[in-house]
Structures are given as structure tokens and as C-alpha cells.
Structure 1
Amino acid sequence: MGPALYRPGASPVHRLPPQVKIVCAGVAVLCVVATPRDAFWGFGVHAAALGVVWRAAGIGPGWFARRALIELPFVVLAAVMPFTGGGRRVDVLGLSVSVEGSLAGWNILAKGTLGVLVSLTLAATTHSGDLVRGFHRLRAPKLVTTIASLMLRYAEVIAAEAHRMRVARLCRGHDPRFLWQAGATARGVGMLFLRSYERGERVHRAMLARGWTGTMPEPAREPAGAKAWAAGLSPAVTAAVALGVGLCLR
């Protein structure tokens, strides 16, 4: 959920306090996971609520679709399950398909896709630094927020170092497209680890010299108002209502 996924904007979704969006995303994912797999209309309600959030945020579905390809292995698994599952089987277009396997595959596909899209929505509308501050305002353990803050601060530094090392290898004739260059790539990864470790040691000594006490300075608390909580949790409430109706109709 770093800057690569964040889409700057001034929409109502972007302006919501980060702790509100974190709670909303967590509740929404829990509702999606708890939705019965045969409540097809319930998944439609979840998707519709997510589409409303995208429209309010001013981000098109194409942006999310391209980044949701990370779940492709689960899609392949879901596509195979109707043909490998047991139980009662039916013929669909001349193919023998397992009913239980089809439901299991649909369950994986629907819940996995919605979970990924909810996470991408949170990342696209909330800067990584704001996410850390949001968890801090939700009283997450200080050790967790401290590690996350330092990781976010130096992830770009390490990425820039890796880019410089790659450019240096290319200038010396390294071509990563060939298999026999795998050794040079592996040595580069090892050198990057050593440089990152040494940099971390230097940074830690510098922090101790400046009075580091083991915790990051606490940001000023900005409590979210009732209106912000009501607006931010409305998609989660919609998902919870759909879950409740789906459970009652079983």
C-alpha cells in the first residue's frame, strides 16, 4: 500500500480520516468472507457498494482491474475446481461439471476478488503514511506502527539503491534476459542485502545519537466526527445488511 498504489485526489473518500477507512475496509472484508457462497445476490450488493465508492473517489474500474491481476493464481484454481470436484455432476455444454466444485470455485473467486478490490480501494484513497497514522489512532501496538513507519520511510531508499545497482550491471554488459546471467543477478541481490543491512546499522546509530527511545513521536490525535464515521461506514453497513439478509434466507 505504498505510493505506487496511492491515487492523489480531493474526493470525499480521500478526505475521510484514515482510521474510518481502515475500519470500513476491515468490516467489509469480514462481511464478504461470511457471506454464504450461494447468496449470489449478496455478492452483487457488495460489488455495487464498492462501485459507488469508486465513483465517489473518482477512480475508474479499469485501474483496479489491472492491479487485481495479482489474484490470477486463485482464479486459475477456481476455474479448475468445477472439473476436479466430487459429488453430484451435471453436463454443461457437453462437459461434466461438479456442482460442489462449481460452488467452491465460485466461493474462492467471488470472495478473493472482492477482498483484493477492497484492499486496493483502501490503498488507492489513503497514503501509506496516513495508514500508519490511522492504525496509531486505532491504538494499534506501538511496536507495529513503529516498524511500519520505518519500513515505509526506507523502502524507497532501498528501491532506489536496487535501481542504481541494476543500471551499473547493465552498463557493464549484464543482460538479465539470458539464463547464464542468473549468477550475477543473485550476487546483486546479496550485495543489496548487505548494503541495506549496513545502512540500517548506520541509521540506527544515528538515531541513538539523537535521543531515540524506541518509539516514534506520537502524531497529534485527530478524532473523527460522527458525520465522518457515518459516511465512511455506510459501505460496511450495506455489506453487513446484505450478510444478515443472506443468513436469514438460508
Structure 2
Amino acid sequence: MHDTQGLHEHEHEHADGTVHAHEHHHARGYDPAFRVHEHAHPDAFEALTHISSPLSRMDARAKLIAALVLVVAIVVSPPLRFAEAAFVLACLGAYLLLARLPLRRVLARSAAVLPFALPLALIAPLQAAGGSLNAGGLFGPEAASGWVAAYGIVSKAWLSACAVTLAVATTETPELLAGLKRLGVPEVMTTVLAFVARYSSALVEEVRSMRVALASRAPRMSRRQLARLYGHLAGAMVLRALERGERIHAAMLCRGFDGSLPVRRKTRLGAPEALLVLCAVLAAATIALY
């Protein structure tokens, strides 16, 4: 559908079958038979938010509420049994299929929580009654209940990360922040999250450019030498990212930034959103009452 300025959105399919949707602006007299659009999609995780699906067109509030309900049910329940874990995975898999998301990238992003959960999980088998360490070590008879607790920590952390990752992967950052604000989250928190999302990408770009510069100037350095050099250049990298962040902020102010990112489409709660929240509530009740 076109507006008065010629701004509209259409879908396009890539060679791998992924369908994306972007806004476009055509000049008057545009003939689609004689002009072809080319789109560049970055490898960043945020590129998944442009995949066109029924879930990507839903209101962000419904996806946030559904993810929160499911995460709370996973966290407050005892360590999930096999049937419960399989049920949660089935729900998340159905969401993944409806969202048309690539499984490998979602798993890779959700696995980012494991380096933080695994050290905590490994401490659980060593803990004995009263907070002391058991004498049998990790594989002693006293560690049996600890391994159950360790499984609960890892499984809950990973399943919760999967639920949040799926919600974020189907919602663009401005829509996600707008949904948080409409749910009553203080504006100062959404503004901080907006800057974190923007400046984290700036930091990643600075790291990437530094790696390219090092590879072009010293292509034969060993990994140990590179690690030592990265340690020396960490301060310079942070300073460069800080300077770039200040330039980005100044550019945003020049373009009328008022504390909130512009949202390219307006969404509202409807029957699909209510169905999504209802499914999340029923799944949470099943986990809690099983």
C-alpha cells in the first residue's frame, strides 16, 4: 500500500527461500517492470527482524508478555522433567517455524547464556548440606542432588534465553523499545536500552575494523602475539568507540532525536496477539501444574 509520499512496503525472496520485507520510496511514474530492487542484509542478528512472517507483524507488547509469562513459568518451576522440557521445546519450535527463522542462528544466539550458567551449575554438585563443600567431589554420592540442581540451572537459563531470543528476533529494535514504553517501562530505561543497542553495534564495528587493519599489516602474527596485541589495543579501541558514539549522538540530535527511536509502522493489539498471549499462558500453566 502506498501513502502520499510513495512510501510502501513489499516482500522479496532470497535464493535460500527467506522472505524479507522493507519500506521503499518510489518516484512518480515508477514502473516495476523496468526497475529491480537490490537489498543488502548484514550478518548481524538484527537482520532476522526483517524476515516477513505473521509473528513479525504482531504488536511487540504481545510478544514481550508471552515471553515474560513463559520465562517466569520456567524459572519458578522445579527442574523440568523430560516431558516438560520437550513440551517447552515444542512450543518454541512452533514459534520458530511460524516466524520462519533460521534454527542455527537462533541456537547460536541463545547459547550465549551458557558461559554464564555453566560455572554456576558446576558449583551445585560440590555443595553439601549447610553450605559447605562435600568430600566426595563432583562424582561422589553426595553430589547426586547437586547434579539435578545443575541441570535445572542450565536448562532454565537456556530455555529462557531461547524464549527471549525468539521474541527479539521477530521484533525490530524501535518497535521493541516502543512496546516496552507502552507497557509502562520508565522512559529513562528504554532510552538507555536504545543507546546500548546502538553503541554496541558501533563497538563491534570498531573491533572488526581493527581486526582488518591488523590482518593487513601483520598477516603472519601468531595467536599469542595477536592476543597480547589486542590487550594493548583494548584501551585505544574503547576510546575510538567512545568518540564514534559521541559523533553518532550528535548526528542523532541534528536529525531531531527526542529520546525515542522512530517506529516505521503502528501496530495494535488484536485477535492474533490475544491468541499468542493465551497460548503462552496455557503453556505456563501446563508447566506449573504438570
Aligned match for 1:173, one of 213, 218, 234: 218
Which of 120, 144, 154 in structure 1 is aligned with 2:189? 144
1:48 and 2:93 correspond: no
> Aligned pair in 2 of structure 1 residues 179, 17: CA closer, same or farther (>3 Å)?
same
Unaligned runs of 5+ in 1: 88-93
Tell me which residue corresponds to 1:115. Answer: 160
Q: Is the 8 A contact 2:110 2:162 kept in 1?
A: yes
Change (3 A) 1:98 1:125: same
Q: State the 1:22 CA deviation.
A: 1.0
Tell me the equivalent position of 2:268: 224
Query: Does 1:21 pair with 2:63?
Result: yes
Secondary structure of the 1:13 match is coil
Q: Which moved more, 1:19-28 or 1:227-236?
A: 227-236
Alignment of 1:65 with 2:110, yes or no, is no
Are 1:159 and 2:201 counterparts?
no
1:31-46 map, 5 Å: 31-37=73-79, 40-46=82-88
Residues 92-144 of structure 1, C-alpha deviations (whole Å, 9 max, x = no match)? xx984744223212311321221121122123222223222221222322222
1:245 and 1:6, CA in 2 relative to 1: closer, same or farther beyond 3 A? farther
**Match for 1:9 among 21, 44, 51?**
51
Letter of the aligned partner of 1:163 in structure 2? R
1:37/1:138 CA distance change after superposition, 3 Å: same
**1:242 corresponding residue in structure 2:** 286
Q: Please, which runs of 5 or more residues in structure 2 have no aligned partner?
A: 1-42, 130-138
| Aligned sequence identity (%) | 27
Compute the TM-score of the two structures, normalised by the length of structure 2: 0.66
Q: Would you tell me which structure has more helix in proportion to its own residues?
A: 1
Find the residue that maps to 1:12 and give its secondary structure. Answer: coil
Secondary structure in structure 2 of the residue aligned to 1:102: helix
Superposed displacement of residue 166, structure 1: 2.3
Superposition RMSD on alpha carbons, in Å?
A: 3.4
The answer as to whether partners of 1:79 and 1:105 remain within 8 angstroms in 2 is yes
Query: CA–CA distance in 1 between the matches of 2:155 and 2:248?
Result: 44
Kindly state the Cα deviation for residue 49 of structure 1 after the two structures are TM-superposed.
1.7
Q: 1:178 to 1:47 in 2, by over 3 A?
A: closer
8 Å CA contact 1:14–1:126 kept in 2: the answer is: yes
Q: Distance in 2 between matches of 1:131 and 1:40?
A: 33
Greater CA drift, 10-19 or 163-172: 163-172
Q: How many angstroms apart in 2 are the aligned matches of 1:196 and 1:78?
A: 35
Instruction: Answer yes or no: is the 8 Å Cα contact 2:199–2:245 preserved in 1.
Output: no
Q: CA deviation at 1:210?
A: 6.8
Output the CA distance in 1 between the equivalents of 2:111 and 2:264: 38
Deviations 1:67-109 (Å, cap 9, x if unpaired)? Answer: 4433444347647755x4557xxxxxx9847442232123113
Q: TM-score, normalised by structure 1?
A: 0.75
Aligned partners of 2:230 and 2:124: how far apart in 1? 37
**Which one has more relative contact order, counting CA pairs under 8 Å at least 6 apart?**
1
